[in-house]
């Protein structure tokens, strides 16, 4: 499942987690907005979340995910599994067209409406139209000891913006620990 108009990248390195996204929103082949913010800090800055896909659908998912975090405080894996289960089985949620990336200091996941829940093996995870480009760049930069998680997210999203027409250079990055 790929979405046009978004690139979200999460990188863990050196005890830090950085989640970033570009700001471009498109409708068909038209850029509707260049400065959207597709990432958020949740639960007092302990959880980061980003989305690719329909904005209205993503807001619904953020709200549902926050409910799961309230129900399972401090347990990102459980909250993520429960949201993935609901997303797959609920008739309304099943129609949502988005991917959700969530991270805390210990875990990073991507959730989809197909009930999928992935955790990366190598500390980098990306979704959206420029996701593959950003992920490839991040994997190339991860071994560089001079680059922080934030540096890798910034540079990788810039590289994705140079390749993907649905990704721009208006980049927002959040980090854990804050």
The pLDDT tens digits for 90-147 are 776 666 677 899 999 999 999 887 778 999 999 999 999 999 999 999 999 999 999 9
Task: Report yes or no: 27 and 150 within 8 Å, Cβ to Cβ.
Answer: no
Residue 99 or residue 54, greater confidence = 99
Q: 106 φ, ψ to 5°? A: -110, -25
CA separation for the pair 150, 19 (Å, rounded): 8
| Nearest Cα to Cα of residue 101 among 76, 133, 138 | 76
Task: Report yes or no: 149 and 14 within 8 Å, Cβ to Cβ.
Answer: yes
Q: Is 56 inside a domain boundary?
A: yes
Is the predicted pLDDT of residue 3 greater than 70, yes or no? no
**Domain hosting residue 30, numbered range:** 7-171
Q: Is 176 inside a domain boundary?
A: no
Q: Is 49 inside a domain boundary?
A: yes
Model confidence band, residue 2 (pLDDT cutoffs 50, 70, 90): very low
C-alpha R_g of the chain: 15
In the residue annotation, 26 being an active-site residue is answered as: no
CA separation for the pair 134, 162 (Å, rounded): 10
Q: Could you give the C-alpha distances from 93 to 71, 76, 146, in angstroms and in order?
A: 19, 20, 42
Q: Is 59 inside a domain boundary?
A: yes
77: Cβ contacts below 8 Å, ≥ 6 apart: 107, 109
The mean per-residue pLDDT over the stretch 33-52 comes to: 93
pTM: 0.93
Q: What is the pLDDT of residue 1?
A: 43
Q: What is the pLDDT of residue 162?
A: 97
Q: Is 57 inside a domain boundary?
A: yes
The pLDDT tens digits for 63-80 are 889 999 999 999 999 999
CA separation for the pair 165, 150 (Å, rounded): 23
Catalytic annotation, pick one of 6, 26, 108, 167 = 6
Q: What is the total count of domains within the chain?
A: 1
Q: Is 1 inside a domain boundary?
A: no
Task: Output the domain CATH number for residue 160.
Answer: 3.60.20.10
């Amino acid at each position: 499942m790929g979405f046009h108009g978004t690139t979200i990248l999460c990188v863990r390195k050196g005890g830090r987690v950085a989640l970033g996204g570009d700001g471009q929103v498109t409708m068909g082949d038209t850029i509707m907005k260049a400065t959207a913010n597709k990432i958020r800090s949740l639960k007092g800055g302990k959880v980061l979340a980003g989305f690719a896909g329909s904005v209205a659908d993503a807001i619904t998912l953020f709200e549902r995910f926050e409910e799961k975090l309230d129900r399972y405080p401090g347990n990102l894996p459980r909250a993520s599994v429960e949201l993935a289960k609901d997303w797959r089985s609920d008739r309304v949620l099943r129609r949502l067209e988005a991917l959700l990336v969530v991270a805390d200091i210990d875990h990073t996941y991507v959730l989809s409406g197909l009930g999928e829940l992935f955790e990366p093996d190598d500390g980098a995870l990306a979704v959206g139209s420029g996701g593959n480009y950003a992920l490839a760049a991040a994997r190339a930069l991860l071994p560089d000891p001079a680059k922080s998680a934030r540096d890798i997210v910034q540079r990788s999203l810039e590289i994705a913006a140079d390749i993907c027409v649905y990704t721009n250079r208006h980049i927002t990055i959040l980090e854990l620990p804050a």
